[in-house]
Structure 1
Amino acid sequence: MTRRNSCAHCPGSHSGERSCLASATTKARGWLLVEHPGPWPERVEQGLPGHPAISEAVRAAQAAGVRPQLIRRSGRRRRIPPVQVYVGYSHGERVWLEGRELADPAELADLDLAAVAAGTPPGFGEPVTDPLLLVCAHGRRNACCARYGAPLARKLTARFDPFVWETTHVGGDRYAANLVCLPHGVYYGDLGPDEAVRAVDAYLRGEVLLDRLRGRAGLPEPAQAAEHFVRAHTGIRGVTAVTVESVSGTSPYEAVVVVGERRYRIVVERVEQTGPCGAECQENLGTYVVRELTLLNEAALV
């Protein structure tokens, strides 16, 4: 099988040379995480031979608008069942996670995926108050994710276990190693060990770092860009302290962003990045630049 986007096609994509802002997946708000030590298929929707209940749960989640991820512990494989399962919602301020170990994966059929998609805790498991840190290590999907993600997962596990899980494709292969912080759906990319540790430390404080920040899942790319630039201007780092009130137009886009009692008008434009990494690597070729940033009712700031 030909693997997509081998690392040889991605010069500069793992060294911080390419902007990764506004590249978090735009469709993930509800999440279903199911433990499966492997092997993982190239695409989760292809199913897992010999595991019909998990395969059906993945298909049902996608149909309901919930993002399914297979997860496993880094560096060790336990016999399953029991199967660790998490469900969660990462949009807005009312984020949540629930977790449960299943003696039989067939119990996944009892999960109310419609409630998860709507942001309502389904009572499928116990509330989870600790974060989940997902590192993409999906080598069958992309060789870079194994090369960069698996070592990063081991590094983070040594420091932040038991929060850390390896996971299947999270989007943006060219930004490996990729990290997703739940329940808020905060995405980081192009991470080395030091950057990843700083990002996790910030998340545990309830903050984001702008360095290597891809954005927050579930928001349109222009909204992610607008939030990023307003954070850069104001210095505000609280995970939920900045809200994109509206986005309108086509590139350039106009957004209104709220920070506490202040409201900003910001214009962002999508531009193509230089030095594309090859015909086989077509994800995330664009980035965003800020054209105007105005504190409403006052003069332009930039």
Structure 2
Amino acid sequence: MTCSVIWDDTGLPAWGTAPRAAFWVAVEQAGPWGAKAFTQSRLDPAIGAAIEAAALAAGGRALLIRRPIARGEQADRSARQVYLAGGLAGRPWLLAGQVSEPAEVLSLPWGELAGPDAVEVLRRVDWLAPLAEGVLLVCGNSKRDLCCAQRGRPIALELEREHPGRVWECTHTGGHRFAPTGVVLPSGQSLARLTVEVARAALDAADAGRLAPATFGPWHDRGRGHLTPVCAVAEAHVRELTGETDPAALAAVDSGDSTVEVRHSDGRVWTLRLALQDCPEQLAESCGKAAVTARSWSVLAVS
């Protein structure tokens, strides 16, 4: 039995497990991916390692993406698609473009990618342009974890038929135990236990610059990666309570001692007390790995 099926049976929440990222960069790379995809694919490993390191050093995350099509149809194209999502702490923005050589991605102004607007990035990178539509990245890296390909790839294939060119398989996003997983751009919301219906709702909401209520709650919402885990849990809980879909409407402030204040742009304030607790059973967090003490976030009190 795969790790994600076992975790599904426990009913444990996915809150607070989003990968930390102040921005996201996605670069097209067709063909097979190894467990460490940036250095184990058809991409020049030196360039792949440099892109991954540059994103991490600037506080963001880089992913490889490929079109969700039959493996025999996977082939390198002369132009590679690139997406860049930033402004996650305020009004998220999304840029898209194509490069003929992946090394061109290294010319991005990495220090500007987490900024509140894309003006400086657009001024300095002439191959990027604003994208009004949302994009969904679904983890399908089987060499990293079997669950991701077995459970994520069918969803990517079906959604690609409905939204051609806007749904991509991507490399590791963490949280194999919550497969199928995905990342919605531009919001940077990480999703767990995706279904076609939830993925469709997330993509439709992204077109309107919103989050989808269907993604709210501890079963599907891993959180938004620009936040610390404790703040991400608090924000996600308030979104579930209120149904607030505007990414910029809530701000979470860690008051210390696992207490978080969530402020709404309309003046409302919630104070939440949270805890990261050990679970009674030991569970494998990835297929083929030994079981460890599982931990999950709980909301103890809200005022």
Q: TM-score range by the shorter chain?
A: 0.7 to 0.9
Task: Supply the distance in 2 between the matched residues of 1:138 and 1:153 (Cα, whole angstroms).
Answer: 12
Q: Which residue of 68, 78, 91 maps to 1:74? A: 68
Instruction: Please state how far the C-alpha of 1:165 moved relative to its aligned partner.
Output: 0.7
Match of 2:163 among 151, 160, 164: 160
Letter in 2 for 1:221: P
Distance 1:141 1:119, change over 3 A: farther
Partners of 1:81 and 1:105 within 8 A in 2? no
- Determine the structure 2 residue equivalent to 1:208: 212
State whether structure 2 residue 112 is matched by structure 1 residue 115: yes
C-alpha distance in 2 between matches for 1:80 and 1:225: 40
CA distance in 1, matches of 2:173, 2:232: 16
Q: Deviations for 1:223-262, whole angstroms, at most 9, x for unmatched residues? A: 1111122223333333332221x11323xx1111112221
1:265 pairs with 2:262:
no
Match of 2:25 among 23, 32, 41: 32
Match of 2:248 in 1: 240
Percent identity among equivalent residues? 27
State the SS of the aligned residue for 1:59. helix
Question: Which deviations, in whole Å up to 9, do the C-alpha atoms of 1:102-140 show, x marking residues without a partner?
Answer: 122232232222222455632221112211100000111
**CA-atom RMSD in angstroms:** 2.5
Query: Structure 1 residues 274, 179: closer, same or farther in 2, change over 3 A?
Result: farther
C-alpha contact (below 8 Å) 1:149/1:176 kept by paired residues = yes
Cα distance, 1:203–1:126 mapped onto 2, change above 3 Å: closer
1:50 shift after superposition: 5.7
The question of whether the paired residues in 2 share the 8 Å contact of 1:174 and 1:281 is answered with no
What's the secondary structure of 2:12's corresponding residue? coil
For residues 166-203 of structure 1, give each alpha carbon's deviation from its aligned partner in whole angstroms, at most 9, with x where no partner exists. 10001111000002111111111012323333343444
TM-score, with length taken from structure 1 = 0.84
How far residue 8 of structure 1 moved from its aligned partner, in angstroms, is 3.0
Q: Distance in 2 between the 1:188 and 1:79 partners?
A: 28
TM-score (norm 2): 0.83
Question: Which one of 143, 146, 154 corresponds to residue 146 of structure 2?
Answer: 143
- The count of corresponding residues between Structure 1 and Structure 2 is 284
1:1-302 alignment to 2 at 5 Å? 8-14=2-8, 17-25=11-19, 27-46=20-39, 48=41, 51=44, 52-75=46-69, 76-118=73-115, 121=118, 122-123=121-122, 124=125, 125-205=128-208, 206-209=210-213, 210-211=216-217, 212-244=220-252, 246-250=253-257, 253-259=258-264, 260-278=266-284, 280=289, 285-294=294-303
Please give the alpha-carbon distance, in whole angstroms, between the structure 2 residues aligned to 1:47 and 1:140: 10
User: Do the aligned partners of residues 86 and 11 (structure 1) sit closer, same or farther apart at CA in structure 2, a change above 3 Å counting?
Assistant: closer
User: Residues 32-51 of structure 1, C-alpha deviation per residue, up to 9 Å, x if partnerless?
Assistant: 21100122121245354662
Name the CA distance, whole Å, in 2 between partners of 1:15 and 1:202: 29
Amino acid at match of 1:258: R
Q: Distance in 2 between matches of 1:238 and 1:65?
A: 24
Secondary structure at the counterpart of residue 74 of structure 1: coil
CA distance in 1, matches of 2:201, 2:139: 18
What stretches of structure 1 of length at least 5 have no aligned partner?
Answer: 1-6, 295-302
Structure 1 residues 284 and 58, CA gap change in structure 2 (3 angstroms)? farther
Moved over 6 A (4+): 281-284
The amino acid of 2:211's aligned partner reads: E
Structure 2: runs of 5+ lacking an equivalent = none
